[in-house]
Amino acid sequence: MTFTFLGFKRAMTSNMAAFCLVLSGMSISSSGFANYLTHPQSSEFIDQMVDDHGFERQQLERWLASAKKKQSILDAISRPAEKRLTWSGYSKIFIKPARIAKGKSFMEAYAAELSRAEEKYGVPREIITAIIGVETRYGENKGSYRVIDALSTLGFDYPPRSKFFRKELGQVLLLAREQGFDPLVLKGSYAGAMGYGQFIPSSYRHYAVDFDGDAIADILDNPIDAIGSVANYFARHKWKAGEGVAFEATFDTNEYKALIHKGLKPKFTMADMQSVGLQNAIDIPDSDAAKIQILKGDNGEELWVTQHNFYVITRYNHSHLYAMAVYQLAKALGLDS
């Protein structure tokens, strides 16, 4: 059994109960560390949580000793569907008759709550429902990974984004303390996202709302709070009520290619689109932000002009495929813009 001197020294300074837990919970990971308490970077993380947020060191050591590295998480984050698939393949995951039918049933079941969210936050009920539908099939699949395993694995053993996920690990411990959760039993996605709308811990802390008046912001098991929280998230990210999202476009010349750019945020305006031969007769102000998006569909390339609200959807998941799936599911649920 591999047991580093650093991990041994820390364990010896804790009380005997914590030390025994470290010993009994060990399973050697492929990186050579017995558990995340013995990881070289855990000491800095623990010190920060103690100094900045007043956590008890012994408690933090117990949690990290319980956290397990999951190779399946590292495998999953290295091949997300948004990077592996074209629109043709990606759309088939989400724009299905069964998911549309379940979405309509969800809208019927929570019609009053969706109406109230739409009125308060200005976000269409179809967009709110589509987010929950894309994320968890309306709560049917909220994730099976322990959040502490997911965030520890990515925070300590995924160098490309370790800083981000280690911050989220701290956020979930803060969330657990605030909400009275046990961080060892919280479950979610391979990236540590939780609940109906799959909020990462920092988003849970900043955007989750109590929408049913019981003084608890529960997006894990309460679809009403999830509805209000998704709407609040979009409102806080500057969703523009009454404006469109995207439309399939036709240009009468190839000059539009000069306006194609990387990134998700629109750099041009509708006036720019008109100047390169946009044929669609769309009643949108010339000054509105616009971006040309090319999708590889079943029948070849599709040209779309996406607007500010499309960009807002990408604040939820930084992918144009994701945003288009949400938009088209929302359209199938009755969105008329």
Torsion 115-119-125-129 (CA) sign = negative
319 three-state secondary structure: coil
Please confirm, yes or no, whether 135 is among the known catalytic residues. yes
Q: Give Cα separations from 112 to 106, 156, 208, 213, 332 (angstroms).
A: 11, 44, 19, 14, 20
Residue 50, strand partner residues: none
Instruction: Quote the Cα angle for 67-79-333, to 5°.
Output: 100
CB 82 within 8 A of CB 90: yes
Give me the catalytic one of 61, 113, 118, 135. 135
CB 253 within 8 A of CB 236: no
Q: Which ranges of 180-305 does DSSP label H, i.e. alpha helix?
A: 201-207, 223-236, 270-275
| Active centre residues (catalytic) | 135
